[in-house]
Structure 1
């Protein structure tokens, strides 16, 4: 059990490091309205490379995470995902399973495993 927690912590730290590097290379326009339009347009164009995760994302996550519905962080909005990732992957997976603020329990993915939720979160938080 301790090894699993250590692996998750290492994954999260690696993800935060990559996120910091990517964020510096992909700054959207500074105007808030243009920035939001840029991020939304980009979010609509992103999809996971893994076919199974892509199907799940398209069916259950994309409608909110590509439009910002219910204040969902946009896929690929690195600045918006960073403070969430800092809470830890376990918290994010738990929030996805139990629901959090505007997100319904299981994010409407009733068959998703915790591992699939983690894959979806990693994709949404780091996609470019």
Structure 2
């Protein structure tokens, strides 16, 4: 009986995995928002919100969107360090925040959308001047 249950679970998980892979098309989502005024915010809402919301579903100590105290020391490190941590992953965060299909520019826009409003303008200016994120 136990062997039947194990086989049943295996078939169930394989079916769910196949169904998910057939319905999950991040490239289509990213292409549909490319160049949108709120592109960074949309990426945040799709990939980052679970850990970076002001009241995160997964509370692992990630800096929360718009919370100045969470970002103050991080912003002092400079945008390149912040982006490096986003790109490579940091502590519990996976590399690229789990958005492996995102371009560097898209990751940068998502990151900028999370920092307090006062810091966003200078970071956007820095982003425009930086060849890496084009």
Same fold by TM (over 0.5)? yes
Alignment correspondent of 1:62: 49
The answer to which structure, 1 or 2, has the higher relative contact order (CA under 8 A, 6+ apart) is: 1
Alignment correspondent of 1:12: none
Alignment correspondent of 1:39: none
Please give the per-residue CA displacement for 1:70-90, whole angstroms capped at 9, x wherever unaligned. Answer: 211110101210100111111
Which sections of structure 2, spanning at least 5 residues, go unmatched? 1-35, 119-134
Please give the per-residue CA displacement for 1:14-37, whole angstroms capped at 9, x wherever unaligned. Answer: xxxxxxxxxxxxxxxxxxxxxxxx
* 2:40 and 2:111 in contact (8 A); partners too: no
Instruction: Tell me how far apart the structure 1 counterparts of residues 60 and 108 of structure 2 sit (CA, whole Å).
Output: 20
1:104 aligns with 2:91: no
* 2:75 and 2:82 in contact (8 A); partners too: yes
The count of residues paired between Structure 1 and Structure 2 equals: 80
Task: Please state whether the residue corresponding to 1:71 is helix, strand or coil.
Answer: coil
CA shift, 1:57, in A, is: 1.0
